[in-house]
Structure 1
Amino acid sequence: MRDRVAGWVVTLSITAIAFGIRFVNIAYPNKLVFDETYYPKDAWTLWKYGYEKQWPSDANSSIVAGNVDVYKDAAEFVVHPPVGKWLIGLGEQLFGMNSFGWRFMPLVFGTLLVFMTIRMARRLSRSTLIGGIAGVLLTLDGLAFVMSRIGLLDIFQAFFLVAAVACVVADRDWYRGKLADHLERLGQPDFGGRFGPIVWWRPWRLVAGLVFGLALGTKWNSVFVLASMGVLSVLWDVGARRLAGADWRAWKALLIDGVPAFVRLVVVSGIVYVASWSGWLLTAGGYDRDWGRNHPDSPWTIHLGEMWASFLKVHQDIYNFHTGSYIKEQTHPYDAHPIGWLIMARPTGVDAVNDIKPGVDGCMATGDATCIRVISAMGTPVLWWMAFFALFVGLIWWIAGRDWRFGVPIVAAMSTYLPWFPNADRPVFFFYAICIIPFTVTILAMVFGLVLGPADGPHRRRGAIIVGVAMALVALNFAYIYPVLTDQLMLYKDWLARMWLRSWI
C-alpha cells in the first residue's frame, strides 16, 4: 500500500514538472511552424464542418493576423486519419485559432506521455524508482519536449501507443492473477495437465483495443505495434498456462484465448477507427464523399452502398499517396534515413530565422557576426546515445537472461521503427522517432536498475553514483540544448557549438 501511494506521488510530481517546463512560452513563436501549416488548419474546419477544407496559399499570414475563416468551400485531400486533428481542434475550440490554441492539446498529451511512460515502466520493473527514472529521462528529452509544443499529430500517436502497450502489460498481470485465484479457490498447486478455466473478462485487453483504435485513427503505422503486441500477448497466455501446469494443453490458448484477443484488440480497434471518421461519414462535403454516388456501377457501391464505397475510395487514395510515385519523387532538406534515427544522425529543423544582423531583434553580435533563432526537433544527445547502447543490453538480458520485461519495450520500439526501412525511398523524418523514445528510455531506466542492483546489495552505493552521474549528464545536456529547442536568440557561434555532428547543421 505504501509503495502504491509513493508510486502515484512520484508519477504526479514528475508529470507536473514535465507540464511546467513544456508550458513556458508555448505560444511562441506566434505563427504556423513546419507541418503546423497542415494540421491546425485541418482541425479548425474539421470541427466546423466534420471534414477538412482547403485553404488559400496566403492563409497562414491571415490566421496570424486574426482573420481565421479564410478557408475555401472545396474539401481538402488529407493523408492521415482524423483523431489527432480532432484533438488539436479541441484546443482551438477552447482557446481560439491561435498558436496557444493549436498547441494546447499537444502540450496536454505530451505531458500525459510522460505520465503513461512512468506507469508502464513501473509496472514492468515492479519498481517506483525505475518508473520515476524513466519519467525524468523522458521529461528531459529534447524531441519529446519539442513535439509537446507544436501542433503535429505524432505526439498523440506516441501517447496512444504507450498507453495501449501499458494496457497489454496490465492485462498480463490481470490474467495471471485470475489463474492464480482459481487455483487458490480449488486449493490446488497447479492444473495437473488440464487447460484450466477460460477467463472471459479481460478489461485491460479491451481497453488496449480501444486505445489502439485511437492510435490507428491518428496514424496508420500504429498497426505494426497492434500486431506485435497482440501476438506477444497471446503467447503470454500460453506461457501463463504452462506455468500453471497445463503442459501441452497450454497451446490451446492460441485458439481459446487468441480468438477473443483478436476481437478485443483488432475488431475493437477497427470499430474505434471507423468511428473516428464519423464527421466525414455523417456529412456530405468531405473529399471523395460523393464517389459512391458518382460511381453507382462500381462493385463497391453495389455491394456496400454509396457511403461505404466512398469510405473505401478515400482510403485507397490515401494509401496510394503514401506508396505511389509522387511521394517517392519528393525531396526534403531534413530527410533522415531511419538507419540513423537511434543515434540522432539528422534532427529536424522545425523553424529558423537565420542571419539576424547586429542590433536587429536584440542581436548583440558585433562586427560580421550574426544571430539566429531556431527550433530543432532533436533529442537530448547524451540520452539518445545511452539509450542506443541500453537497447543492446536489454536485448541480451531478454534473450540470454530470459527476462520477459525487457522484451516489451524492445518489441514495441522495433515495431514503431523497423517498418520505416521499406519506406525510406520517400522523405522520412527523425521526429517520427517520438514513438520510439518512450520505449527506449524505459529500457535505459531498466538497465539503470541493473546497475543499481538490489536495495540491500553490496554495490548499491557505487551503482547509485553511476546512475546519478548519468542522470545529471542528461539534465545538463538538456539545459545546454534548451535554446535551440525554444527559438531563443543566440549568436551564430553559440548555435554552431551545439551542433555536435556535421549532419545536424
Structure 2
Amino acid sequence: MHIALLAGRSAATVWGPRVGVRWWRFGAGVLLGLAFATKWSGVYFVLFFGAMALAFDVAARRQYQVQRPWLGTVRRDVLPSGYALGLIPFAVYLATYAPWFASETAIDRHAVGQAVGRNSVVPLPDAVRSLWHYTAKAFHFHAGLTNSAGNYHPWESKPWTWPMSLRPVLYAIDQQDVAGCGAQSCVKAEMLVGTPAMWWLAVPVLAYAGWRMFVRRDWRYAVVLVGYCAGWLPWFADIDRQMYFFYAATMAPFLVMGISLVLGDILYHPGQGSERRTLGLIVVCCYVALVVTNFAWLYPVLTGLPISQQTWNLEIWLPSWR
C-alpha cells in the first residue's frame, strides 16, 4: 500500500490500488495448513487469522485515505486473502494425507463401495469421499466424549481454567520404591503445568493488549489477542466435551508474544530519560530472572526427575494441582 502511495496509485480509484502478491501471506497459509493437519482445532486459526488479515487490509486502506476502504477490501483483497489463507491451508491439509492416499491398506482407504455408497450428491473422487468418511468417524468419536454421556477424567479441565493453568495434567506418578532423590521417600512425577510467573499474568497482559489495540491503535497487540483467542474461545462452544490443559498449548506462543511486547514497552518508551530506561531495564531483567527461576523449580515435575516427598508437596502450589 505504501509503494502504491509513493507511485501515486493510492487514489487511482475509490477502492484503492491492488497490492499484488503478498508472499508472506502465502507462507502463513502453508503454516496454517500444517497446523490444521496437526490438529483439527487449527482450523480456528485459519478463520481468525483470515479475518484479521482482512481487518488489516481495511485499516491500511483507511490509513492511506482510500475513499471506500471497506468496498476496496471486498473488491481487491478478499479473493487474494481467501486464496492464501483459505485455499492454501486446505490444500496443505489434503497434501499431508498423501501416504494415506497412496496406500491400499490404510484405514477406510476404500470406504466408498463398502461402508459408503457410490452415489454422491457432490461429484468428488472416491478417494476424497473415503477420506471424508474416515475423518468424520474420528470426529464423531471425539465429539461423543462428553461429561453428559458419563465420560469423566480426574485431570480434565474447562477453558476458563486454562489462562492461569489452574488445572494441569498429571501424566504419571510413581511413589513406590523410587530412589535417587537423597531422601527416604521419593516421588517421580510428570505433570504438564504452566510456569506461574508467566501464566498467572495472562489476564492482565490480555487486558493491557486490548487497551493498546483499541485505545492506542497499536496493531502489534492484535496478533496477540487474535492468536490467543483462536486457541481459547472456540472451546467454550461445547463445554460438555472432555478437555484438558494441553489444549492450551496453542495459546502459549501468543502469551509469550504478549509478555514480550509488554516488556518492550517497559524497557523503552519514546522520550524517556536515562533514569527511566535504567529502571525499565532492571524491571525486565528481574522478571526474566524470576521466570527462569520458576521454570527451574518446576523442572523436576515437568521431566519426571526423582524428588523427595517434601519437595513434591512444595511443588504443588494450588489445591487444584492435586
TM-score, normalised relative to structure 2: 0.91
Residue 396 (structure 1) aligned with residue 218 (structure 2): no
CA contact (8 A) 1:371 1:490 kept: yes
**Structure 1 unaligned regions, length at least 5:** 1-178
Taking a change above 3 Å as real, the CA distance of residues 295 and 390 of structure 1, as seen in their structure-2 partners, is: closer
**Structure 2 unaligned regions, length at least 5:** none
Query: Which residue is 2:289 aligned to?
Result: 472
Amino acid at match of 1:338: P
Residue 304 (structure 1) aligned with residue 124 (structure 2): yes
Structure with higher helix content = 1
What are the within-5 Å matches in structure 2 for residues 25-424 of structure 1?
A: 179-186=1-8, 191=11, 194-249=14-69, 251-294=71-114, 297-300=117-120, 303-324=123-144, 328-356=149-177, 361-366=179-184, 370-424=185-239
Give per-residue Cα distances to partners, 1:50-108, cap 9 Å, x unaligned: xxxxxxxxxxxxxxxxxxxxxxxxxxxxxxxxxxxxxxxxxxxxxxxxxxxxxxxxxxx
Give % identity: 30
CA contact (8 A) 1:192 1:245 kept: no
Query: Which residue is 2:262 aligned to?
Result: 447
Aligned equivalents of 1:462, 1:341: Cα separation in 2: 32
Residue 426 (structure 1) aligned with residue 244 (structure 2): no
Give per-residue Cα distances to partners, 1:226-275, cap 9 Å, x unaligned: 11111111121122122222122553212321112111211111111111
Give per-residue Cα distances to partners, 1:348-382, cap 9 Å, x unaligned: 112221233xxx5335334xxx2101111111111
Deviation at 1:193, TM superposition (A): 6.3
Residue 484 (structure 1) aligned with residue 301 (structure 2): yes
Secondary structure of the corresponding residue to residue 490 of structure 1: strand
Deviation at 1:340, TM superposition (A): 0.6
CA contact (8 A) 1:380 1:481 kept: yes
Taking a change above 3 Å as real, the CA distance of residues 396 and 364 of structure 1, as seen in their structure-2 partners, is: same
TM-score, normalised relative to structure 1: 0.59
Amino acid at match of 1:205: R
CA contact (8 A) 2:16 2:72 kept: no
CA contact (8 A) 2:16 2:67 kept: no
Taking a change above 3 Å as real, the CA distance of residues 454 and 362 of structure 1, as seen in their structure-2 partners, is: closer
Taking a change above 3 Å as real, the CA distance of residues 192 and 363 of structure 1, as seen in their structure-2 partners, is: closer
Secondary structure of the corresponding residue to residue 231 of structure 1: helix
CA contact (8 A) 2:146 2:242 kept: no
CA contact (8 A) 2:175 2:188 kept: yes
Deviation at 1:343, TM superposition (A): 0.8
Aligned equivalents of 1:380, 1:295: Cα separation in 2: 47
Give per-residue Cα distances to partners, 1:150-184, cap 9 Å, x unaligned: xxxxxxxxxxxxxxxxxxxxxxxxxxxxx222332
Deviation at 1:192, TM superposition (A): 7.0
Aligned equivalents of 2:121, 2:111: Cα separation in 1: 9
Aligned equivalents of 2:95, 2:18: Cα separation in 1: 31
Aligned equivalents of 2:319, 2:145: Cα separation in 1: 31
Taking a change above 3 Å as real, the CA distance of residues 325 and 383 of structure 1, as seen in their structure-2 partners, is: closer
CA contact (8 A) 1:391 1:444 kept: no
**Root mean square deviation of aligned Cα:** 2.2
